[in-house]
Structure 1
Amino acid sequence: MWGDMLERHELETFLTLAEELHFGRTAQRLHVTTSRVSHVVKKLERRIGALLFERTSRRVRLTPIGQRLADDLTPLVDGIEEALRRATDAGRGVSGELTVAFLGEWGAPVVSAAANVFLRRHPDCAVRVVEVQLSTSRSSLVDGSVDLLLASYPFDGMAHGPVLLTGRRLLAVAAHHPLARRKAVSLETLGDHPMVQYPAVTSAAFKRDRTPDRTPSGRPVPRGPEGTTFSEMLSLVALGQGVLPVGEETRRYHPRPDLVYVPIEDAPPIERGFVWSESRATARVREFVRGATEAVLGGSGE
């Protein structure tokens, strides 16, 4: 399968050691002895005619040739494994029911487009589309009531697909706020005003990205009140109790006369895509993410 040059166990041993850089951990992962790992690596080095690892009593590291081999082989092996997964899924068929959730009105069109592609390919599988709130987004994935969620990255503790949407960051401020008259603000501005907080159950990585504790220069960002839903958080902003960084789609889906959305000129874009629990990465989940990628980023969709 792997060709005459490398056998599968040699590839697996080499790539695992390239990742772990430790013979003991590599042996544990592969359920073999450390001497077996050493034997395979030495045999592979003799075949290639060059050292792939530098070994000392303190550490193991890749040689330049070893690093290049690892960089070249990894995507090839990943591609073969993905092809095998797809063939296996096709052989078994994709059926049953898939529950896909979105968080906020902006996500509904993306979920619908992805579902249409998925259902054309897999008519024996039903798709149920639901909306979740900030307070239930994570718990729904953990308890299995939702298979997939269209969300903002990062979303810690979950597997994720490719970035499907990107957008500018804006700062939501009250219409009477001094910043409402500005054409743009910087991230440093966040250190001068209380920031409305997401619910405690929200992804910690997401909160660090969207509502950071410090500005780029290290100044602390004052904490404002915590909301339970996104609409409630915007209402806290409108009442003058804090500001809130949001995505540019908020201006379209939440236009309010008591709010102004000011561009944050030096902030990186917000990235969004599907997340799911790795323990529930079924064929249905993988096929839906593939369909979503083609529906949003391009492809035949057939």
Structure 2
Amino acid sequence: MGRCHQSRRRDRDLGQGRDLDRQGWLRGSRWSLCEGRNGCCSCRRRSVLQGGLPGAWGPRARDATKSSAARRADRLTLLSKRNITVLALLAALGLAALWLLSVPRGLTLADLPQHQPNAANGEILYHAAGCWSCHKPGTDLKDVDPNLPAGGFPLKTPVGTFYPPNLTPDPETGLGTWSDLDFVNAVQRGVSPAGANLIPAFPYTSYAHMRVEDVLDIKAYLATLPAVDSPTRSAEIPFPPLLRRGVGLWKWIGLDTTPWAPDASQSASWNRGSYLVNGPGHCAECHTPRNISMALDTSQAL
């Protein structure tokens, strides 16, 4: 029976491949005949036809036609692509780290002591802390008692203009719906109830040294004041979300949360004065130099 054209062509190609292999043209090459190791004739045929012949069109033959400069350029291109990928990954990791480090961190309910608030003590500390001086009513609140901390009076700083919020117990615009934890975190950790970092124009860097019980007493006193409807205006600062995230990074070096501790070698009145100066009175905020990071330089305190 006659053989088909494809069978004769396959035998011719395989015979040619065996002749070349005997002459050493393919021996030692990854394109050499498999000699049956791949289990079929077709794989041996592919080995010859896919670049095994001298001057054929296989990958090595194509590389050989390139100049050394072209091959060097290809390697540089590959290295450049790898470098860009590595740099992109490092940048992504860096941004993720900065984002995590700037996350607002506050106290938890477990950190709050069991305490029966004392509004009378809170009133004393409210005045010692000078809360009204920043939270006094804005000029647009004509019919409001000027002695109430209704907020809204502009506070101009190098960063921008702030409008301190309403401290009366109004449920819509004041502290009426704030929990004890919300209040303590704002006063001592610079974290709003919404979970944003507060700009340290609000001196929580000093209030952080206060006793938590005293902070809760201030809240108890504020709850006794008449409620005033005084909507809070947004601060006029550049890029507020970005700036607030930056404050989260700054807190790692600028916010010392070490509680004030009495000096056993001093009298009770001296310690009381020290507490008022370093805690609620926040005297250091104006009377202590700041370092390059704008944190208080405690080596030159007061």
Q: TM-score range by the shorter chain?
A: under 0.3
Larger Rg: 2
- Calculate the TM-score normalised by the size of structure 1: 0.22
Higher strand proportion? 1
- Calculate the TM-score normalised by the size of structure 2: 0.22
RCO greater where, 1 or 2, for CA within 8 Å and sep 6 or more?
1
